[in-house]
Structure 1
Amino acid sequence: MEISINYVIKKLEELLRIPSPTGNTEKAISFVENEFKTLGISTYRNNKGALIATIEGKNKDKEVTLSAHVDTLGGMVKEVKNNGRLKITQLGGYVWSTIEGEYATIETMDEKAYTGTVLTTKASSHVHGEGTKNIERNMDNMEIRIDEKVLNKDDVLKLGINVGDFVAFDPRTTVTDTGFVKSRHLDDKACVAALLGIAKYLIDNNIKPNYTTNFFISNYEEVGHGASSSIPEKTFEFIAVDMAAPGNGQTSDEYSVTICAKDSSGPYDYELRKRLINLAKENNLNYKIDIYPYYGSDGSAALRAGYDFKVGLIGPGVDASHSFERTHKEAIENTIKLGLLYLTE
């Protein structure tokens, strides 16, 4: 099974560089939509803006759906401060210290973009001494310094920046010669790219999956309701493709596909998990089985919404999730291979 991994990594790099904080994902959705259409795959969108692409299968009476989410962590302007800086509220769940010092882009309602840097309110040790080190990293003590000549609130408002504007963090994407992909937002753009890789393999090799297959690209996963509606009605099995989390007490690593047994929403379907494990084992894939106590997925959202289908969860290991993330080409490739085996064996 020869995967076009160079294609996948190229599309991943392009996608990572498109800002898509949850709630403001149109440009990223359009990018993915265009890629499916380039492959000759029909697409449509639901009312929330999620993208569904479909490949006809041998069996058209039942369908399977694979999901990945294009929305990422980010911020939103909470307050334009009197000193000309911005207070932000979080989009998605992350620790404030993980964005300290990060470059950011503020997008206004008229689609102007301004750059800035996330800092604490006591960033200079020459000014604040020990206060720089000891200040708590939270919403009240973090701010964005805008790269414009602004001295007060009115100066900022004149730029068109206001409460509710979206803030995207610089992904700082790097692909190393050793095969690592370092970037913010690998959760879950690595898996969106993996779905493109699966679709390309099927099209290039003129392979019909066993069942009509939907690729559901959600845009509100980071806030919990990404795949809570509009899943194609003939779906009888749903596979959420989302990053796995290596770390202390976990089995996942950056080189394998992980098959998740349970997360914060409870166990995934046992029979489906067993089938995925057997496929990985019989085809000599690098795979792990893991449990995530502080994790939810589009599969979780679908189950909470009351959908009547079996749900599984697979994905590449992504180190330091919701922080300074990193994965390896091997993990993405193993994820693609397991997805293809699931669809065709």
Structure 2
Amino acid sequence: MEPLKIDQEYVLEVLLRLLHTPSPSGYTDRAVHLVCEELEKMGVEMEITRRGAIRASLPGEAKSPDRALVAHIDTLGAMVKGLKTNGRLEVVPVGHWNARFAEGARCTIFSDDRQFRGTLLPLKASGHTFGPEIDSQPCSWDHIEVRLDEISYRLDDLLHLGIHVGDFIAIDSGTEITPNGFINSRHLDDKAGAAVLLGAIRAIKQSGVTLPVDVHPLFTISEEIGSGASAALHQDVAEMLTIDNGTTAPGQNSSEFGVTIAMADMVGPFDYHLTHRLIQLCKEFGIPHQRDIFRYYRSDSAAAIEAGNDLRTSLVTFGIDASHGWERIHWDALESLGSLLTVYMQSPPLFPRDRQDMGPRTGFPTLPA
């Protein structure tokens, strides 16, 4: 068992394609097809739920106690809340993000049969017109509107264009990669995690290694609105490793370098034994890492537990600065994360007893004295 070489050019290529594929929660079909096409190229078996979550399978020597690795491909976005008499659009957010990060964003509006380009702007956007009022006006979604790049100055213009309440709005990623490895972009949460997971799957397939137990990579499509991995899990999955972003902010121990292992989030602690197995693997194979706790954060793991799944959960992250805003990561964290995923998939299951939903006390673990 050793970290496998991941084709970083492949990870970058997939990441860029994902970032340029609109997929706000509720409008994810294009990204679903993109991921499915990549899995098909690798010869990986998969199934798709009614709504679009992807459940892939990498066979191992044993069927159980199997494990799942989960990343989400839905992003933040917005929807049309109302058609305004000035020819602009009232909006509401999809997912939880602050209106201050919407101001100035370029976007695409998807109507029933067309798409339009536009910009999210505060209601008072011209300093030459409003003077100091542009600084004193409130910052909230009630004070944001979309200016369409169309001849649209009245309500009738919007009706003629065929725009309706409920149309989805996708926010441009604005991706930029610097020569020293920094990646600036919206939607790195969690398309960077999905790209790394695809890269790790590809490395497993190309290496020909035999996995000890079945591994089920999952790509969910509603994490940003809370339901995430509540569906699509095999019912006999015993271990679930969620891949998402970790916040590098004052008071946090996350970093844009190495992999960050979350010990707890706002829902509570992650499984003690699984998180410490991940820490052990990082130490054993020299993978840079740190631990952190997130107070205002939940992930696919929470959705899975709340849906009634009895399984051990953990969260591994790439450090991201200004999460849900003007996001930035470093390539170093993606490489460390990928290395951890490949060794975890090769590692034996935590406890053979976990293949049973219910069992005797024999084989149940204990904590260190």
Same fold per superposition (TM over 0.5): yes
Q: Distance between the aligned counterparts of 1:229 and 1:19, measured in 2?
A: 22
Counting only pairs closer than 5 Å after superposition, residues 241-280 of structure 1 correspond to structure 2 as 241-280=243-282
Equivalent pairs: percent with the same residue? Answer: 39
> Residue 133 of structure 2 corresponds to which residue in structure 1?
131
| Deviation of the 1:154 alpha carbon | 1.3
| Deviation of the 1:230 alpha carbon | 2.5
Structure 2 counterpart of 1:94, which letter?
W
> Residue 71 of structure 2 corresponds to which residue in structure 1?
68
> Residue 195 of structure 2 corresponds to which residue in structure 1?
193
> Residue 225 of structure 1 corresponds to which residue in structure 2?
227
1:159 to 155, 158, 161: 161
**Is contact 2:218-2:232 (8 Å) kept?**
no
| Deviation of the 1:208 alpha carbon | 2.4
> Residue 48 of structure 2 corresponds to which residue in structure 1?
45
1:23 match: secondary structure: coil
Name the count of aligned residue pairs: 344
Q: Distance between the aligned counterparts of 1:146 and 1:121, measured in 2?
A: 14
> Residue 16 of structure 2 corresponds to which residue in structure 1?
13
> Residue 97 of structure 1 corresponds to which residue in structure 2?
100
| Deviation of the 1:281 alpha carbon | 1.1
**Is contact 1:239-1:311 (8 Å) kept?**
yes
Structure 2 counterpart of 1:278, which letter?
Q
**Is contact 1:78-1:88 (8 Å) kept?**
yes
2:145 to 143, 146, 161: 143
Q: Distance between the aligned counterparts of 2:155 and 2:212, measured in 1?
A: 59
Q: Distance between the aligned counterparts of 1:52 and 1:275, measured in 2?
A: 24
1:199-258 CA-to-partner distances (Å, cap 9, x unmatched) read 000011112222111111000000100111230122110011111111101111111111
1:66 match: secondary structure: strand
Q: Distance between the aligned counterparts of 2:210 and 2:12, measured in 1?
A: 24
| Deviation of the 1:62 alpha carbon | 2.6
Distance of aligned partners of 1:77 and 1:244 in 2 relative to their CA distance in 1, 3 Å threshold: same
Structure 2 counterpart of 1:344, which letter?
Q
| Deviation of the 1:96 alpha carbon | 0.5
1:139-195 CA-to-partner distances (Å, cap 9, x unmatched) read 221101000011111111211111000001110111221111111000000000011
Q: Distance between the aligned counterparts of 2:342 and 2:123, measured in 1?
A: 49
**Is contact 2:64-2:237 (8 Å) kept?**
no
**Is contact 2:235-2:309 (8 Å) kept?**
no
| Deviation of the 1:67 alpha carbon | 0.5
Q: Distance between the aligned counterparts of 1:312 and 1:210, measured in 2?
A: 19
2:292 to 290, 301, 305: 290
Moved over 6 A (4+): none
Say whether residues 1:35 and 2:75 are aligned partners.
Answer: no
**Is contact 1:99-1:118 (8 Å) kept?**
yes
**Is contact 1:106-1:168 (8 Å) kept?**
yes
TM-score of the aligned structures, taking structure 1 as reference length: 0.98
Q: Distance between the aligned counterparts of 1:123 and 1:130, measured in 2?
A: 11
Say whether residues 1:55 and 2:58 are aligned partners.
Answer: yes
> Residue 235 of structure 1 corresponds to which residue in structure 2?
237
| Deviation of the 1:6 alpha carbon | 1.2
Q: Distance between the aligned counterparts of 2:56 and 2:64, measured in 1?
A: 17
Structure 2 counterpart of 1:92, which letter?
G
> Residue 118 of structure 1 corresponds to which residue in structure 2?
120
**Is contact 1:5-1:329 (8 Å) kept?**
no
1:76 match: secondary structure: strand
User: Whose radius of gyration is greater, 1 or 2?
Assistant: 2
1:271 match: secondary structure: helix
| Deviation of the 1:91 alpha carbon | 0.4
> Residue 180 of structure 2 corresponds to which residue in structure 1?
178
1:261-305 CA-to-partner distances (Å, cap 9, x unmatched) read 000110000010110001001111111100000000000100111
> Residue 341 of structure 1 corresponds to which residue in structure 2?
343
Counting only pairs closer than 5 Å after superposition, residues 79-94 of structure 1 correspond to structure 2 as 79-94=82-97
2:218 match: secondary structure: strand
> Residue 216 of structure 1 corresponds to which residue in structure 2?
218
1:18 match: secondary structure: coil
2:328 to 322, 326, 329: 326
Which 5+ residue runs of structure 1 have no aligned equivalent?
none
TM-score of the aligned structures, taking structure 2 as reference length: 0.92
Say whether residues 1:109 and 2:112 are aligned partners.
Answer: yes
Which 5+ residue runs of structure 2 have no aligned equivalent?
348-369
Query: What is the root-mean-square deviation in Å for CA atoms of aligned residues?
Result: 0.9
1:230 match: secondary structure: coil
